[in-house]
Amino acid sequence: MELWQAVVLGIVEGLTEFLPVSSTGHITIAAGLMGLDVSNRSVTGFTAVIQVGAIAAVLFYFWKDISRLFMAWVRGLRNREARTDPNYRMAWVVIAGSLPIVFVALLAKDLITGPLRSLWVVGIALIAWSFVMWLGDRLGKQTRGEKDMTIADGLKLGFAQCLALIPGVSRSGATISTGLLLGIDRVTATRVSFLLGIPALVAAGVYEAPSALADDGVGVLQTVVGIVVSFIVAYASIAWLLKFVQSNKFTAFVIYRVVLGTALLIALGVGAISATGAV
């Protein structure tokens, strides 16, 4: 992998990780268009490791929220009365929501890094999940906030997050739209989606690091550059999306996903690009 390719993928990762458009899908498309083999283990490892930049962006942006939830959780473990604090319950919501993807990712590892790494899968998933996002926007009552969430909500969001292992679905798109269908307001669903992403992205980055940094991998310099670029872009994306969801639906993202997915399927159908990205 050339250094400029690492920069491009870092930009794509940071820009799309928290937008409901599928970062994995976009990175797969971008890597394929640059001539990289999207099914190569070192490339898939690199795309997982540069998510560390996005993780760091979330940690920086939500540091006060994370500290608040963690301290409430610790107090609740030691003091029964402290368990009435909504922040204690919210901490358990995040913990519960983070567990499903760990087990599913381990059980479906070969499927995720193999057959699902196809641009056909990306195109179909982009279009299919757009319908779910559209339903969430229109059917979601948005009458519940952070203080109303339960551990059961966390588990449901956690299982929804597992669907993002399919390239093209989008982790944020899956969790936010599911949150809307559960009656959670758009801003809360978005914030919780960010928090749920921390354990998932950390686990993926740690697991794939050896593949990206190996002697036959993409290289240490490229990996570091990808992480730094993704951090800068992801931080800006988080700030923008939180402002956007305060007064906007996800219609623009739905349209974008359908258009991109359709264009990708047409390109694959006419042979302009192969399922592994070779032009």
Assess whether pLDDT exceeds 70 at residue 66.
yes
Per-residue pLDDT, averaged over 140-147, amounts to: 89
- Which of 34-48, 66-80, 180-194, 262-276 has the least mean pLDDT? 34-48
Per-residue pLDDT, averaged over 27-56, amounts to: 80
Q: In whole angstroms, give the CA distance from residue 110 to residue 255.
A: 32
Assess whether pLDDT exceeds 60 at residue 165.
yes
Residue 205 pLDDT grade (very low, low, confident, very high; cuts 50, 70, 90): low
**Phi, then psi, of 224 in degrees rounded to 5:** -65, -45
Which residues lie below 8 Å from residue 49, measured CB to CB, with a gap of 6+? 205, 208, 209, 212, 213, 223, 226, 227
**pLDDT score recorded for residue 279:** 47
Q: In whole angstroms, give the CA distance from residue 141 to residue 13.
A: 31
Could you tell me which of 163, 21, 50, 23 has the C-alpha nearest to residue 100?
A: 163
69 close to 91: Cβ distance less than 8 angstroms: yes
Residue 133 pLDDT grade (very low, low, confident, very high; cuts 50, 70, 90): very high
Task: Kindly report the length of the chain.
Answer: 279
**pLDDT score recorded for residue 204:** 67
Assess whether pLDDT exceeds 70 at residue 213.
no
- How is residue 143 written in tokens? 């009458």
- Please give the model's pTM, rounded to 2 decimal places: 0.82
Q: In whole angstroms, give the CA distance from residue 52 to residue 229.
A: 11
**pLDDT score recorded for residue 254:** 94
Q: In whole angstroms, give the CA distance from residue 4 to residue 26.
A: 17
Contacts for 254-259 with beta carbons within 8 Å, 24 or more apart? 254/130, 254/133, 254/134, 254/137, 256/21, 257/20, 257/21, 257/22, 257/126, 257/127, 257/129, 257/130, 257/133, 258/126, 258/127, 258/130
How high does pLDDT run on average in the chain? 85
Could you tell me which of 230, 195, 192 has the C-alpha nearest to residue 49?
A: 230
- How is residue 139 written in tokens? 């059917």
Indicate the DSSP class of residue 166.
S
